[in-house]
Amino acid sequence: MTSPIHIGPIHIGIDARVAPGAFGGVAEVLGLYARSLSFLDPAEFRFTLLCDRKLDVGWLRAVIPDHARILLTSEGDFETRKVVVPIRRNRLSEKLFGLTAPMQQFGMPVQDASAVWRREGVDLVHLPFQFAIDSDLPTIYHPHDLQHIHLPDYFSRDDLIGREATYQYFCHKATYVACTSRWIAQDLLAQYDLPPDRVRIVPWATTTGEVPEPDIGRIKRVLSRHGLVPDGYMLLPAQTWPHKNHLGAIRALDRLRQTHGLRPLLICTGSLNAHAQALYQEIARLGLGDQVRFLGYVDREDLSTLYQFARFTLIPTKFEAGSAPLWDAFTLGCPVTCATTTSLPSQSHGGAHLFDPEDIGQIAEAIRVMWLDAGLRQRLVAIGTEAVKPYSWDMTARGFGILYKQALSRSISEADRAFMNSLPVY
């Protein structure tokens, strides 16, 4: 098939209306992807990152290449209109919308940035987080995961309706729906009845970026600032969302203390949200105040040091699209024990000690084994170090560069086709 004639580089608009910390892993991944745009040839691509003028954008300005620019906008720049969403039936939408047929119409408001994008000369819009902004241009949309369908008790009814309608609308409207793992791709196909050729897997790389060179002074400052010693703690890096399962980790510590007299220190990083209060209450109830500490959001330099000197990383999550902490720990040589959740067993490639996140006894036993067995930790580090090697931001950027071309019906080379077929999908 002959591609349309296109003069000059393809112009990609990226919805970047997020800020570090408040949006957790999505913002961090976006920042690293923005940096990786440098791997894409300016002769083929240029980029406009749409940002909220109320948010700090210095973190993005500092990393984007010369062929990318920031466009500051406000809500008033977008048209608000009502769209009709054909809601497909799944186990959640049946209850939420009272579906009795395979499909039912549902009206919802959306913000539309068509005029903004077209004024800038954008050809295609990349929507890297769930709550996207609409347009009449070709799009690549990331729903990340469908946690709300599998764990609806963690959401209000209004939130469930909003998520289900939004995800279904953008998934079915998108030129391509992008995800990070085979598990999530299969879930999207099953829940939303999407055409298989429109769901594309492009794995993200580690959020660690470059591994810092050893700096004794920096290491001492970071550990001293947080009152820690090397190998004296386990790390749980996650915002305090209920599905991250800090509660399971806390109760596992109580189980360990009662059954084995073991009192390991748990260090938690990540922004604290409303659920944190319930965690503090449980810690107080169980008398674990000396064993669990929340550091809040820490910068990347501190976090990398915390990984490198932790005895191991604990990932007790109940749902993930793909685990950034798993890749980060592997990259930084930290052993991992993690949940048998969604794609995590395949993502770990045998480099993590696995447990059922719903079973407090299994979490406790995983912590006990990892805390005491240095040989196991060494073996896991060796496997994990190799497992993460194929994943790089160069790979991710190239994969999306090819997807941009395909979304616009541009021709791709045989080398590009072979590259997409050889992506290390887990």
49: three-class secondary structure by DSSP: strand
* Second CATH level (architecture) for the domain 10-205+392-421: 3-Layer(aba) Sandwich (3.40)
Distance CA 135, CA 112 (A): 5
- Mean pLDDT of the residues in the chain: 94
Same fold? 10-205+392-421, 216-388: yes
pLDDT average, residue stretch 72-84: 96
CATH 3.40.50.2000 for the 216-388 domain, yes or no: yes
Distance CA 248, CA 356 (A): 10
pLDDT average, residue stretch 285-310: 95
Distance CA 269, CA 388 (A): 22
Residues 41-77: tens digit of each pLDDT: 999 999 999 999 999 999 999 999 999 999 999 999 9
Per-residue pLDDT, 355: 98
Instruction: Spell out the domain ranges in the chain.
Output: 10-205+392-421, 216-388
Distance CA 148, CA 121 (A): 36
Between CA 416 and CA 421, with CA 419 as vertex, the angle to 5 degrees is: 115
How distant, in Å, are the alpha carbons of 35, 139, 202 from that of 393? Answer: 9, 21, 11
pLDDT average, residue stretch 17-44: 87
pTM attached to this predicted model: 0.92
Distance CA 110, CA 162 (A): 11
pLDDT average, residue stretch 20-32: 77
Per-residue pLDDT, 300: 86
Per-residue pLDDT, 4: 43
- 42-56, 70-84, 90-104, 120-134: which range is least confident on average? 90-104
pLDDT average, residue stretch 206-227: 83
Distance CA 340, CA 358 (A): 10
pLDDT average, residue stretch 359-366: 98
Per-residue pLDDT, 207: 86
Band of residue 3 on the pLDDT scale cut at 50, 70, 90: very low
Residue of 37, 409, 47, 391 lying closest to 201 (CA atoms): 391
364: three-class secondary structure by DSSP: helix
Per-residue pLDDT, 257: 97
